[in-house]
Structure 1
Amino acid sequence: MSPRIQGYAFVLITMCIWGGFTLTARLNALWNISAWDIVALRFSLAFLILMPILLYRKEASFLLRKEAFILAMIGGVIYCLFAYSAFHYAPTAHAAIFLNGCIPLCTAIVAYFLLNQAFDKHTWASLVIMIIAICLMSILMYRETGIPFGMGDVLFFISAILWGMFTVLLRKYQLSAWQAMSGVAIWSAVVYVPIYLLFLPKHLTDPTPIHLISQTLFHGIFVVIIATLTYAEAIKRLGAFKAGSITNLAPFIAALLAVPLLGESLSIAMICGLVGMAIGALQPWRWVLHRDSLEARLAEQKKQSK
């Protein structure tokens, strides 16, 4: 396959896993798997797989860098506890809006404060669209239920801030995808699992064994390891904008699939929020501008060749 076809293949794999994360994280709540438990199981399994590989390849020295530890605490332990907990309070559509929809915006804001990176015109346009979408959705939700936001929405938004911080710090520290993924998984397990075993509540006997095993395998292997690597490979072949735009569709597709698969409902408020946040996060106008710019360059090159 050509690099371009390979890139789209990696994007497809990433989309399936990211969409699956949204659905299966909601299933954790329905199957009585607590956030404390799934975070411990997720990172324990990833640790058992990755640590022997790093030792065999003699590549574990980067784990001693403070950057690897900071990324693990922000994008590993703390992010996962907030994100998984949120699914116990809010359905899948709320995750697409307040988590995945807000991640690009939160990343841009964090980059402004940490890297002094000013907003470009596309970010300002997304900001305006998202604010309008959230305000409209809040008004409609208040009319429907009397409550504009819930606990799950707040937890999802905090998760988006944490992931934005993780993304910006990852860019700043310039660790490779393999180092970032391994560092997050290993340090998260080293720090969190002992605390979990000694102090935190455990409900491992509440869910059925098949549910517990399937969730551990999916989140510990597919989400932590495979999706990280396929996304990095997609960026190499397609570029950050195209790969990121396509994979950002996954949570919004998952929100629609949750209606028939999980029996969730979509209100008018949720539909408005999904549409507005999807437009703001995906920035579809950039595809048009990118295509026009590419066509102009090709025409100029053809003219010069003549």
Structure 2
Amino acid sequence: MSDIARALPHSSTRPALPGWLAALATVTIWAAWAVGTRHAVTHELPPAALGLLRFGIPALLLAPIAWGMQFAPAAEIGPLLPGTMPLFVALIGWLVFGERLAGLRVFGFALILAGVACIGGHGLLFSGNGAWRGHLLLLTGAGLWGIYTHAYRRCGLSALQAAALIGLWSFLILLPFGGAPLLHALDHGLDRPVVLQALLQGFLSGVAGIILYGIAIDRLGASRAAAVSPLSIVLAALLAIPVLGEIPSAAAWIGIVLATLGVVLASGVFNRPSARAG
């Protein structure tokens, strides 16, 4: 174990309840963000403008996620983004930091892959609407989320400091790409959608979501914080029905169920504390 890893505060020494509450709030924000972003990029605002409004997510993370929203339905965003993010967290922990993977977690990873194959394979082979491009971009975003999870866990910054640092650099990087589309939207009478997306992207997702996710990682550890992410899958799918009119296909529902069960098992929440990797 590296000196940095030994120096990290152990999550079990801190009260867990605030971490679980922060994690639940985070996935609720993620679900609302998935539906709201999907609606915006298919109706009023281009991804670059949304990226500028959000500015709380790193530019390299935001690009594959926002552009992926143009192709992948909202019900499929959950399994492919928060659904696979714990998989990337665990793989990075195993490959880079030597964390152990128990048999139950490996079975969970297999379920996640089966769910992703069910969703992505259906879109690639049968839908014919280009959704597979969104699937690939969302998986890229999930991998970047996994990198961020481990990087934050070891960077020594507080949740508020990390959100401020990410927001500043993301805003500066996205300004040349999103400034003109955002002004164009305002000039064409889209003030109300811009304000609503500024609230969703800029405050809820870009500030509150990042801070709450950081608190969850601090209190629970990377694996346990990621374990709550399947809730956003169900919430996003349910919200998409009345808001977007998107009814998940049978394959998508199967993928949602498999990915949700897989994430719960892969997160290690059912392992004994002594066997769980931080």
Which residue of structure 1 lines up, in the alignment, with residue 7 of structure 2?
none
1:83 aligned residue (38, 62, 65): 65
Tell me if structure 2 keeps the 8 A contact 1:33–1:207: no
Which residue of structure 1 lines up, in the alignment, with residue 175 of structure 2?
193
Change (3 A) 1:280 1:202: farther
25-34 or 262-271: which moved more? 25-34
232-241 or 16-25: which moved more? 232-241
1:250 aligned residue (217, 232, 239): 232
1:163 aligned residue (134, 145, 163): 145
For residues 78-136 of structure 1, the C-alpha deviation after alignment (integer angstroms, 9 at most, x for no partner) is 11111011111111122112112111112222333433434333431222112233344
1:208 aligned residue (184, 190, 206): 190
Following TM superposition, by how much is the alpha carbon of 1:219 offset from its aligned partner in structure 2, in angstroms? 1.0
Which residue of structure 2 lines up, in the alignment, with residue 269 of structure 1?
251
User: One-letter code of the match for 2:41?
Assistant: A
Which residue of structure 2 lines up, in the alignment, with residue 28 of structure 1?
40
Calculate the aligned-residue CA RMSD, in Å. Answer: 3.2
Tell me how far apart the structure 1 counterparts of residues 125 and 179 of structure 2 sit (CA, whole Å): 44
Tell me if structure 2 keeps the 8 A contact 1:40–1:193: yes
Change (3 A) 1:95 1:206: farther
User: One-letter code of the match for 1:27?
Assistant: H
Which residue of structure 1 lines up, in the alignment, with residue 50 of structure 2?
38
Fraction of identical pairs, as percent: 24
162-171 or 200-209: which moved more? 200-209
1:154 pairs with 2:136: yes
User: Whose Rg is larger?
Assistant: 1
Change (3 A) 1:285 1:170: closer
Which residue of structure 2 lines up, in the alignment, with residue 184 of structure 1?
166
Tell me if structure 2 keeps the 8 A contact 1:96–1:251: yes
**Secondary structure of the structure 2 residue equivalent to 1:19:** helix
**Secondary structure of the structure 1 residue equivalent to 2:228:** helix
Tell me how far apart the structure 2 counterparts of residues 155 and 284 of structure 1 sit (CA, whole Å): 22
User: One-letter code of the match for 1:23?
Assistant: V
Tell me how far apart the structure 2 counterparts of residues 197 and 210 of structure 1 sit (CA, whole Å): 17
Tell me if structure 2 keeps the 8 A contact 1:22–1:251: no
Tell me how far apart the structure 1 counterparts of residues 177 and 211 of structure 2 sit (CA, whole Å): 28
Tell me how far apart the structure 2 counterparts of residues 115 and 131 of structure 1 sit (CA, whole Å): 22
1:224 aligned residue (195, 202, 206): 206
Change (3 A) 1:145 1:88: closer
24-33 or 234-243: which moved more? 234-243
Paired residue total: 259
Change (3 A) 1:197 1:7: closer
The TM-score, its normalising length taken from structure 2, stands at 0.78
Following TM superposition, by how much is the alpha carbon of 1:192 offset from its aligned partner in structure 2, in angstroms? 2.7
Following TM superposition, by how much is the alpha carbon of 1:266 offset from its aligned partner in structure 2, in angstroms? 1.2
In structure 2, stretches of 5+ residues that fail to align are 1-14
The TM-score, its normalising length taken from structure 1, stands at 0.72
Which residue of structure 1 lines up, in the alignment, with residue 4 of structure 2?
none
Tell me if structure 2 keeps the 8 A contact 1:101–1:281: yes
1:14 pairs with 2:14: no
Which residue of structure 2 lines up, in the alignment, with residue 94 of structure 1?
76
147-156 or 220-229: which moved more? 147-156
More helix by share: 1
In structure 1, stretches of 5+ residues that fail to align are 47-74, 294-306
